[in-house]
Structure 1
Amino acid sequence: MKAIRRFTVRPVLPEPLRPLSDLARNLRWSWHTETRELFQAVDPEGWAASGGDPVRLLGAVPAGRLAQLAEDQDFLTGLTAAADDLDAYLHGPRWYQSQSPTPQLPAAVAYFSPEFGVTAALPQYSGGLGILAGDHLKAASDLGVPLIGVGLLYRHGYFRQSLSRDGWQQEQYPLLDPNELPVSLLREADGTPSQVALTLPGGRALRAHIWQAQVGRVPLLMLDSDVEENAAGEREVTDRLYGGGSEHRLLQEMLLGIGGVRAVRSYCRLTGHPTPEVFHTNEGHAGFLGLERIRELAGEGVEFDAALEAVRAGTVFTTHTPVPAGIDRFDRELVAHHFGDAGELPGVDVGRVLQLGMETYPGGEPNLFNMAVMGLRLAQRANGVSTLHGAVSRRMFSGLWPGFDPQEVPITSVTNGVHAPTWVAPEVMRLGARQTGGGRGGGARPAGSGGSGDGAQRWDAVGDIADAEIWDLRRTLRRQLVQEVRERLRASWRQRGAVDAELGWTDAALDPDVLTIGFARRVPSYKRLTLMLRDRDRLMHMLLHPQRPVQIVVAGKAHPADDGGKRLVQELVRFADDPRVRHRIVFLPDYGMGMAKKLYPGCDVWLNNPLRPLEACGTSGMKAALNGCLNLSVLDGWWDEWFEPDFGWAIPTADGVVTDVDRRDDLEANALYELIEQRVAPRFYDRGPDGLPGRWIEMVRQTLATLGPKVLAGRMVREYVERLYAPAAEAHRALTPEAARELAAWKARVRAAWPQVAVDHVEAVAATAVNGTAELGSTLGLRVRVALGRLGPDDVEVQAVAGRVDPDDAIGDAQTFPLKPAGGPDLEGRWMYEGPLTLDRTGPFGYTVRILPSHRLLPHSADLGLVALPTGATGEGAGVLMR
C-alpha cells in the first residue's frame, strides 16, 4: 500500500546535542570540512546513506545513538568547538568590515538568480549559472559582504538523468519536500507564514511562501508557489527549473523579479536586516525586479521617468550568454496581458513596460519582449563574465547604443571565479596545510576563502612542495576517482537493465595509473560533446595505445526538450559501450555537484572544446585547476584570458576562417588529437630516473601557484564590490527623488533637441608636417564649429577621438581629448570649440570629433546612446592625418 501523505518525524535532540541542529541548518557545513567530519562521526553509515546531508542524517539517526553521543565527552568537545567556530564565523569582522571608508559601500546587496547551486542537498540548480550563483553567495559570506540571495524553490528541482539500454537520456523529477531540506519558512510576528502575492489577469492571484536557507552569513530567500490558497495552475508555477511553456516561464520570472523584491522587503522588515541599496540581476530572468522598484517609487509620488533613473542607479546586470538564442524572449502581447491595471503593476503604463524590452536595433524582432534588453535598460552597470565575453557582449548588444563603436558600449567584465573550500579536495587542503604550517581547518584554506586578506602567499608556497608529494597526491586522487567511476558505472548499467552477471568488466574499468581526461558539462551543441568522436579509429588508438594509453570520463545532461543534445549523449554512450574500449572511456549519468567533487580532483587533464567564442566563462576548468588538474582547452572564456604554456594547452581553432561547421569540427578535432598524442600524453609518461614525470609535476605546480589566486570566487566578489556594487550604491544615494527628476527632465530635453546637434566644420590649426605626414610628439590644434540647437555647452561634451587607423580608416585603440568652447555663440548660434591633439604614436594615424551628452549624474557618456559625428562619418574613422 502507498501512503496518501508523506512527512518527516524529526527526533528530539538531547540538550547537549542541540547545537547539531544549528550546524545542520547553516549550509556552511557544505564547505567546512571539520563540520562535515563531525556529522560523519554521528553515524558513518547514516552519513553515507544520506548523501552527506546533515538534515537527512539527523532525521534518521536512532534515538539510542543520540543518547550515546550525549554522553561522549570527546564528541561533545568537538561539537562545542564546531559551534564556537560557526559563531565566530557568523559574527566576527571579515574583509568587507575592514574596508575604509565604509560609507561608500552598500549597506546591503540583493542578488537575484533563477538557480542556486549551493549543495547537492538543496538541488535547485541545472548547471554553471546556478553553481556560479552558489559560489557567489559563499564567497560573499566568507568576505562578510551583506548580501541577500533571492531565487525560487522548485518542488522538483532539476531532473535526475538516467540512460535507457540503448543510451537515450531519460528524465525523472523526484518531488522535493521543503520540510526535508535545509530550509525554514519565513514567518510573520504572529507565527503565520509570510507570503508575497502577484495579481494575475482575470482577478486571480499568484501567492508564494518564502523559504530561507542560511548560506554562512548570507540568507537565501526562495519563493514557493505550492500554497494551498493558490489555484491548481498557480501552485505549479515553481514546479520545475526551466520547465513549461512561455507563459509558465513568464510567471516564474515575474515571481522571481517582482515577488523577489517583495520577499526582500518582508525579510528586512521581519529580521531588521539592512535594506539593500544595490540590486544585482544574475541574467535576465529576474529583470522584472526593476519594474517592481519603479512601482514602489510611483507609490511615493515619483513619476515613471524619474523612478526609472533612480532604479537604474542602484542596479547591476550580469549577462552570461554569448548568443541571442540563449536569451529569454516573450511575445509582447503575452507580456502586455500580464501587466497594467488588469494585472501586475497597476498604475505603471504597459506601453512603457513594453518599450523596456523592445529590440529596437537593426535585425531586432519588434513583436518580442527581450529580457536581457530590459535588464540592460534597467541597469546603469552591466558586465559579462570574462574579458572575451565582455567583448562579445559589447558587440552583441551594440545596437542599443547606436553611433558608438562596440568597444565603447558600456558593458564591462568581471571574470567568474569558483569557491575553493567547496571544490578543492580535502587531500589538497591537507597538503597545503602541512606546507604552510596551518592547523586543522586553518592554513589548509586556499586564498580568498575568508578573513580580511586573500592569503595569496599560500598559493606561492606550493613551490616548496616536493615532487614526490605532489605526484603521490595526484595518484591518490586518481585512484579515488577510478573507484568512484566503477561504482557509478555498475549502478548506471543496472538502471539500464543489466544484471550482475554481465558487469564483471566494470571491476577493471579505468586504470589508476593511466592518463585520465575529464569532460563534464551541459550538452548544448556549441559545447561539442562528441568532437572527440570525429575520428573514432584515431580515438580508439589513443585509448588503447600500448605505451601511452589515455582514458576519458564524460558526464553531462541535455535539456529535456533538446532532442539534438540527447542524440549527442546517445552517440557518446554507444561508443563508450563498445567492449573494445569501455574500460577506457565511460559516460556517467546524472552529473551534479556530488559527482563533480570527485571528478575535478581525480582527472589529470580537463578538456573543454566549445565553438569559440560561445563559452561565456566555463568555470569547470577553474575547479579542476584548483586541484592540480591541467587544462586542455579552446581559447575561450576564462582560458582565453589566463592561458600560459607553463600550465596547460590551447587547442588551435579555425574560427573566422572556416565557415563550414563540419570542416571546422574536423580541423579542430585533428588539432585536439595531435595535442594529446604529441604533447600531453608524452609529457605525462615521460619519467625521470626517480620514476616521476618531472615536467608534468612542474605544470601542476604552476597551475596551483599561478592560476590559484586568479580563479577564486573571493577575487570575483571583491571585484563586484569595488567596481560595481560600491559605485552603484554611490549613484543610488545621489539619485534622490529630486535629483532623479532633474536627470529625467534633462534627458527628455536632450533627446528632443538632439536632431539639431551637429558638427559643422573641423579644421587643423597647426602641426609640423612634411609631405602629408607629421612627426611623433608634435601637437595638432583643432578648431571645431558645432550646432547645439536648444542645448548649451553645459549639456554636451565635444571630443576629439584619435588613434591608429586600419586600411578602411577605422580608428582602433582610440583615445579621447576634450575640446573647450572658445567664447560664446556666433551670429548663427554656432559654437567654436578648440583644443590640442598630441600625436603620441607612429604609423597610420587618424582623428575625428564628436558631440556627446554630458551631465554630472550620468554614469558614462554613452548612457543615452546619443552621439553627433561630422557629416558623412559613421564612426571614429574620419579624418586620417598621417600614414
Structure 2
Amino acid sequence: MAFTFKPYTPAAKYKTAAAYFSMEFALDQALKTYSGGLGFLAGSHMRSAYELKQNLVGIGILWSEGYYDQGRNEDMTLKVNYRRKYYSFLEDTGLMFPITIHGADVQVKAMYLAPETFGTAPMFFLTTDIPENDYVSRTISHHLYDPNEAARVAQSILLGVGGGKLLDLIGRKTDVYHLNEGHGLPLAFWLYDKHGRQLDEVKKRLVFTTHTPELAGNEERPMKLLTDMGFFGSVPVEEVREVARLHGDSLNYTLTALRFARKANAVSKVHGVVSNEMWGHNEGICPIIAITNSQNGTYWRDKYLAAALKAKDDQALVERKYELKKALFELVADQTGNVFDPQVLTIVWARRFAGYKRADLILQQFDRFVKLVTDTERPVQMIWAGKPYPLDYGAINLFNSIIQRTKHLKNCAVLTGYELNLSAALKKGSDIWLNTPIFPREASGTSGMTAAMNGSVNLSIADGWIPEFIKPGENGFLIPHAPEGTSDEERNAQESVALLDVLENQVVPMYYDQPKQFLKVVKTAMKDVEPEFESNRMAKEYYEKLYK
C-alpha cells in the first residue's frame, strides 16, 4: 500500500507550508535522535507547531545508534557505549530514493512519525542503514555527529538533499525551507539547481537559524572535499565559488547559508548582537534578526507545581517540590550511593559538557566550595550532569576530574545518562539552576527556562536569554562577569569568586533564613518565564518574522 501524506488540517493563520531541517530532534526519551540543546530546542519547536496546528513538517535523520549511551567505568569515570536502536512507533513509508554521494547512488529510506505519537508536527526521519546500500553507505546514518569528516559531509547531503527530494516525492508544495543550523546546507544548492540556478529563487524560499558563536556550530570544510563528496550536486564548482562569493579554499556553512537565505535569526537578543558582529561585515548576507529560543511548557512543566502556582497554594507548591526533590535523590543514591536530604539547598549544573560552559567554575575556589557543601548548619548539595562529545577529550577529562575531586564529599554527585528524562528530573528536583558560560559564548541556554517552569531558580552569568529574563533577587540571581578583554585565567578567577560570593551572601542566607522570600523568588520566576519563554511564542514568531 502506497504511503499517503495526510497531516492535520493547519490553522488558517499558519497555512504557509514550511519544512524544518535539523540534524537532531529531542522529542521523547525513547527516540535517540539528539545530543543536547539544539535537539531540545528543535523538539520543543515541533511540539508547539503541533499545538498551534502550524503547516510545518520536520525533517531529520534516523540515527541507528543514536548519539551515544553514557555509562561508567569501574572507577565511576565516563564510558561511551553504542547500542543499536529500534523504533516500533515509526511508520515505514515504503518510500526509497537515491541521492548522490561521492559519485555513487546511495539509497535513502523515509520513516514517518505521526503527529499523535508524541504531539509533534508530522516528521520524517531519513536513513541509509538499509540492505540496499553497501556497508560504508549504511554507516552514514549510524552516529549523530560522526567524527569522520567525510561522514559528516555525507550526513549533511543526506539531510539537505534527501529532505528536499522527499518533500517533492510526497507531493508537498513547500513555501519555506528552514535550516536549523548549517548542517543541512546542501539543501541550498539543491534548491539553486532546481530553480534554474537563480539565487533570487532560493532566497524566496530559504530561511536560516544560527545557534552558536562556537566554531563547532559553524562548520567549515575544504572545497576539494565538498566537491569530491557531491555537496553541491550538479552545480559546477566555478559557479559555486561565484554564487557563494568564495575567495579561499574552504567553505563556511554559516556564511554560505546567510548568503542563500532571505532572512536569518539568532537565538537571543545578546546572540543577535554577537551574530551581526561576527558575520555582518561579509558582503551579500541576509538580515539577521533575534528570535529568542524557548521551550515547550506542555512537555516540560510539572502539572502539579503549575496547578499549585495557579491556585496560589504555597503549601501545595512546597510539598510538591519536596516530592520532586525526593524523586531526584533516589536517582542520585542509585547512581552514586550518596543519600541527599530534600530539606537541603540543592544546586544543579547540567547541560551539554563543553569547555566554555565551565562546569567546574564553582570548584575553582575549592576550599570555599568544600566549606559550602560540608557546612552542618546551612549545607548545600551539588549535582552535575551532561554529555561531552565522545572525542572532546578536554570535556571528558573535565567530567572525570569533577568525579575525582568530589567523590569524597557526600553532598556531591555526578550523574550519567543526561537525556530528556534525567534533564526533567534535575530541573524538577533542584532549587538552583547554575549556568556559568564564558560571556558571550552561550547563544541562548534554554535549560534555564524549563528549570524556572519547575521552581528551580536560575543563578547565571548574564549571557544568552538570561538578560531578557532575570531581575536580580526577584526571579533569579546574576553572577557578575569580568570586563571584556580580561584574560581567560583572570576571568575564571574573578567569576569563580563572584559566583561563591552570590551563593554565600545571597542565595544560602535567603533559602535558610528567609524561606518565604526564597519561595517568592521561585514563584516569580515561574510566572515570569511563561509565556515569553514558552515555545508557542517562538513558533508564532517564526511564522510572523521569518516565514512570511
Q: TM bucket by the smaller chain?
A: over 0.9
- Structure 1 counterpart of 2:501: 674
- Structure 2 counterpart of 1:129: 38
The structure 1 residue matched to 2:194, chosen from 296, 302, 305, is 296
Pair 1:91–1:112, CA change in 2 (3 A): closer
In the alignment, the residues of structure 1 paired with residue 236 and residue 541 of structure 2 have an alpha-carbon distance, to the nearest angstrom, of 37
Amino acid at match of 1:376: L
- Structure 2 counterpart of 1:206: 106
Amino acid at match of 2:154: L
- Structure 1 counterpart of 2:380: 550
In the alignment, the residues of structure 2 paired with residue 429 and residue 123 of structure 1 have an alpha-carbon distance, to the nearest angstrom, of 28
Pair 1:356–1:429, CA change in 2 (3 A): farther
- Structure 1 counterpart of 2:534: 712
The structure 1 residue matched to 2:218, chosen from 317, 327, 335, is 327
In the alignment, the residues of structure 1 paired with residue 253 and residue 114 of structure 2 have an alpha-carbon distance, to the nearest angstrom, of 29
In the alignment, the residues of structure 2 paired with residue 355 and residue 336 of structure 1 have an alpha-carbon distance, to the nearest angstrom, of 15
Q: CA deviation at 1:675?
A: 0.6
In the alignment, the residues of structure 2 paired with residue 722 and residue 293 of structure 1 have an alpha-carbon distance, to the nearest angstrom, of 23
Contact 2:150 2:229 in 1 (8 A): no
* Corresponding position: 1:310 with 2:210: no
Contact 1:287 1:375 in 2 (8 A): yes
SS at 2:38 equivalent:
helix
1:663-694 Cα distance to aligned partner (Å, 9 max, x none): 1101100000011111001000015xxxxx11
The structure 1 residue matched to 2:347, chosen from 517, 522, 526, is 517
SS at 2:195 equivalent:
helix
Amino acid at match of 2:95: S
Contact 2:62 2:141 in 1 (8 A): yes
Contact 2:190 2:232 in 1 (8 A): no
- Structure 2 counterpart of 1:61: none
Amino acid at match of 2:313: A
Counterparts of residues 441-840 of structure 1 (less than 5 Å): 462=310, 465-489=312-336, 506=337, 509-578=339-408, 581=409, 583-645=410-472, 646-658=474-486, 660-687=487-514, 693-726=515-548
SS at 1:484 equivalent:
helix
Contact 1:332 1:354 in 2 (8 A): no
- Structure 1 counterpart of 2:175: 277
Contact 2:8 2:53 in 1 (8 A): no
1:13-56 Cα distance to aligned partner (Å, 9 max, x none): xxxxxxxxxxxxxxxxxxxxxxxxxxxxxxxxxxxxxxxxxxxx
Contact 2:469 2:528 in 1 (8 A): no
SS at 1:509 equivalent:
coil
SS at 1:236 equivalent:
helix
Contact 2:218 2:253 in 1 (8 A): yes
- Structure 1 counterpart of 2:149: 246
1:154-213 Cα distance to aligned partner (Å, 9 max, x none): 110110112223443221110113xx3421111xxxxxx2112112345x2111100111
Pair 1:535–1:371, CA change in 2 (3 A): same
- Gaps of at least 5 residues in structure 2 are 1-5
Percent pairwise identity: 32
Q: CA deviation at 1:401?
A: 3.4
- Structure 1 counterpart of 2:3: none
Pair 1:291–1:359, CA change in 2 (3 A): closer
The structure 2 residue matched to 1:394, chosen from 263, 276, 289, is 276
SS at 1:221 equivalent:
strand
Contact 1:625 1:708 in 2 (8 A): no
- Structure 1 counterpart of 2:240: 353
- Structure 2 counterpart of 1:229: 132
Contact 2:21 2:179 in 1 (8 A): yes
SS at 1:399 equivalent:
coil
Pair 1:201–1:620, CA change in 2 (3 A): closer
* Corresponding position: 1:120 with 2:29: yes
In the alignment, the residues of structure 1 paired with residue 461 and residue 333 of structure 2 have an alpha-carbon distance, to the nearest angstrom, of 30
Q: CA deviation at 1:488?
A: 3.2
Aligned-residue RMSD, C-alpha: 2.0
Pair 1:311–1:474, CA change in 2 (3 A): same
Q: CA deviation at 1:546?
A: 2.0
- Structure 2 counterpart of 1:413: 290
Runs of 4+ in 1 over 6 A off after TM superposition: none
Contact 2:97 2:109 in 1 (8 A): yes
TM-score by length of 1: 0.59
In the alignment, the residues of structure 2 paired with residue 357 and residue 142 of structure 1 have an alpha-carbon distance, to the nearest angstrom, of 38
Q: CA deviation at 1:487?
A: 2.2
- Structure 1 counterpart of 2:95: 194
SS at 2:212 equivalent:
coil
In the alignment, the residues of structure 2 paired with residue 359 and residue 644 of structure 1 have an alpha-carbon distance, to the nearest angstrom, of 45
In the alignment, the residues of structure 1 paired with residue 67 and residue 243 of structure 2 have an alpha-carbon distance, to the nearest angstrom, of 30
In the alignment, the residues of structure 2 paired with residue 655 and residue 228 of structure 1 have an alpha-carbon distance, to the nearest angstrom, of 57
Amino acid at match of 2:218: I
Amino acid at match of 1:616: A
In the alignment, the residues of structure 2 paired with residue 255 and residue 200 of structure 1 have an alpha-carbon distance, to the nearest angstrom, of 9
Pair 1:329–1:694, CA change in 2 (3 A): same
Pair 1:139–1:661, CA change in 2 (3 A): same
In the alignment, the residues of structure 1 paired with residue 68 and residue 245 of structure 2 have an alpha-carbon distance, to the nearest angstrom, of 33
Amino acid at match of 2:544: E
In the alignment, the residues of structure 2 paired with residue 380 and residue 718 of structure 1 have an alpha-carbon distance, to the nearest angstrom, of 19
Query: Which has the larger displacement, 469-478 or 274-283?
Result: 469-478
Contact 1:116 1:133 in 2 (8 A): yes
Pair 1:576–1:165, CA change in 2 (3 A): farther
Contact 1:425 1:597 in 2 (8 A): no
Contact 1:167 1:569 in 2 (8 A): no
Amino acid at match of 1:154: W
SS at 1:400 equivalent:
coil
Q: CA deviation at 1:642?
A: 1.7
Pair 1:618–1:134, CA change in 2 (3 A): same
SS at 2:375 equivalent:
coil
- The structure with the larger Rg is 1
Contact 1:168 1:566 in 2 (8 A): no
1:765-816 Cα distance to aligned partner (Å, 9 max, x none): xxxxxxxxxxxxxxxxxxxxxxxxxxxxxxxxxxxxxxxxxxxxxxxxxxxx
Pair 1:344–1:359, CA change in 2 (3 A): closer
In the alignment, the residues of structure 1 paired with residue 123 and residue 8 of structure 2 have an alpha-carbon distance, to the nearest angstrom, of 18
Amino acid at match of 1:214: A
- Structure 2 counterpart of 1:168: 77
In the alignment, the residues of structure 1 paired with residue 464 and residue 232 of structure 2 have an alpha-carbon distance, to the nearest angstrom, of 38
Contact 2:181 2:217 in 1 (8 A): no
Contact 1:393 1:411 in 2 (8 A): yes
SS at 2:122 equivalent:
strand
* Corresponding position: 1:425 with 2:247: no
Pair 1:686–1:224, CA change in 2 (3 A): same
In the alignment, the residues of structure 2 paired with residue 324 and residue 217 of structure 1 have an alpha-carbon distance, to the nearest angstrom, of 31
SS at 1:637 equivalent:
coil
Pair 1:680–1:370, CA change in 2 (3 A): same
1:226-253 Cα distance to aligned partner (Å, 9 max, x none): 1222122111111100013111110110
In the alignment, the residues of structure 1 paired with residue 244 and residue 366 of structure 2 have an alpha-carbon distance, to the nearest angstrom, of 46
Q: CA deviation at 1:107?
A: 3.1
Report 1 or 2 for greater relative contact order, CA contacts < 8 Å, sequence distance ≥ 6.
2
Contact 1:359 1:370 in 2 (8 A): no
